[in-house]
Amino acid sequence: METKKKSGFTGSIGFVLAAAGSAVGVGNIWRFPYLAARDGGGLFLLVYLILVLTFGFTLLTTDIALGRKTGKHAWDAFYSIRPKWGFLGKLTFLVPAIIMTYYSVIGGWVLKYTTLYISGHGTDASKDDFFTSFITSKMAPIVFMLLFLAITALVVFTGVEKGIERFSTIVMPGLFLMIIGIALYSLTLTHTDASGITRTGLDGLAIYLIPDFSDLTFSRFLNILLDAMSQLFFSLSVSMGIMITYGSYVKKEINLNKSIAQIEFFDTAVAFLAGLMIIPAIYVFSGTDGMASGPSLMFVSLPKVFHSMGKAGIIVGVIFFLMILLAALTSCVSIMETLVANCANIFKTSRRKTSLMISIYSAITAIIICLGYNIFYFEMKLPNGSVGQLLDLMDYISNSFLMPLISLLTAIFIGWIVKPKWIIEEVETGNVKFSRKKLYAFMIRYVVPVIMSILLLQALGIFH
């Protein structure tokens, strides 16, 4: 109980920026643009925006209100309401425990690229085999991963107010300004290729913003919907215990309705601007073919784009990877904080001792993931049809399988067992007006369970 009294956000700005920092991660700046590029730009944007205002809002409200009302972390929150549903807290705890095994590995990759551009060797990154040779080498990825993990651990070790809140209030505004700067620069780009075709940043902007309904079939629309939905999990940090943990640190006088709307806005604005920053630039130098490069977009395609920009590309590359690094750190901090907060509670250990334990766990598991590209290399066909290595397998278990399952069970629990009124009352604490309460009640009871079931069936390969 001692730590509970000491830990907490000092005000709503600190909470919103910390929660937005958790939400705004590599998922927004890397995953969102490549999905948008692959799924027809404007059409994906439209679907995603509708989902944020309905699903995102419902899942985010549930997690934060659940944490604040119970005053407990994910592990204990469900048990404290209904002991029979305690298993859901344990299931929720599993997600950050799995994500932590590989998130610092990706963070290490970003750190490598950041140091490469800062040291003036950014042109190396534009070579065809650079990324593959880096991740398959035995030592370099481990060194960079450990450095990234050490920075994360230091912030968590310092605590909620001095560490997470202070870090987020400094980093998030800077991150936002960097994204706006590069997004505006992307729109000014122009390039004439070998065949004499000139493409501009504004042409790329049109592809990004204007929905293309030609060739739209029901199965393609369903794929776009499921892509946008999986991105939402990644993006808003819902169904992984993070927002329940952060919610437990929020004081009763903070207006939850307003804070949730601000987190939604911040998160969606960053994802939108990330697309604005990346898609026009890729289109200018690589055309529509470059836009289909998928997950390799950030580490393979973008360095080529920066190289094509000449001297300006070196500066843009430094700012871009520095920004990605800050985004990765804010997300990794929230994942580690969730593990530390829950484990400190379970084992009744101090924050510092628990931070050390989680850091050791994270380092050992992340080293295994790094070695998944050389010593432990294998290729495995996943139930959803994709082929993956060790990192992809962990990502599949946490994001494609566990998160929809947790959201489905949470929706049944809140919608039908404890009833939506339980959450609504918490949001309305202190005479706060909850303008979307009817939408919330309808979504949590009827819509979320149906869509989550479809997502789950798709992840298991039963439904395509």
Query: For residue 5, is pLDDT > 70?
Result: no
Instruction: Check residues 214 and 61 and name the one with the higher pLDDT.
Output: 61
Q: What is the pLDDT of residue 294?
A: 65
Instruction: Check residues 161 and 131 and name the one with the higher pLDDT.
Output: 131
Q: Does the residue 120 lie in any domain?
A: yes
Q: Which of these ranges, 138-147, 279-288, 398-407, has the smallest mean pLDDT? A: 279-288
Measured CA to CA, the distance from residue 181 to residue 281 in angstroms comes to: 13
Tens of pLDDT, residues 159-180: 766 767 777 777 778 888 888 8
Tens of pLDDT, residues 226-274: 888 888 887 787 888 888 988 998 999 999 999 999 888 888 888 898 8
Q: Which of these ranges, 20-24, 76-80, 229-233, 346-350, has the smallest mean pLDDT? A: 20-24
Measured CA to CA, the distance from residue 101 to residue 370 in angstroms comes to: 10
CATH number for the domain that contains residue 406: 1.10.4160
**Domain extent for 261:** 2-459
Which residues are bridge partners to 198 per DSSP? 192
Q: Does the residue 350 lie in any domain?
A: yes
Query: For residue 31, is pLDDT > 90?
Result: no
Q: Span 31-39, mean pLDDT?
A: 84
Claim: this prediction has a pTM higher than 0.85: yes
For residue 385, the SS3 value is coil
Tens of pLDDT, residues 373-404: 999 999 999 887 888 899 999 988 998 899 99
Q: Does the residue 446 lie in any domain?
A: yes
Number of domains in the chain: 1
Q: List, as one string, the DSSP characters of 290-349.
A: HHT-GGGGTTTHHHHHHHHTTHHHHHHHHHHHHHHHHHHHHHHHHHHHHHHHHHHHHHT-
Q: Does the residue 88 lie in any domain?
A: yes
Residue 436 — pLDDT band, cuts 50, 70, 90?
A: very high
Q: Does the residue 297 lie in any domain?
A: yes
Tens of pLDDT, residues 184-237: 998 999 989 888 999 999 999 998 998 888 888 888 888 888 888 888 887 787
Query: For residue 6, is pLDDT > 60?
Result: no
Query: For residue 20, is pLDDT > 60?
Result: yes
Tens of pLDDT, residues 111-127: 999 999 999 999 999 99
Query: For residue 21, is pLDDT > 70?
Result: no
The answer to whether the CB of 232 falls within 8 A of the CB of 56 is yes
> Hey, what are 32's tokens?
């969102």
Q: Does the residue 464 lie in any domain?
A: no
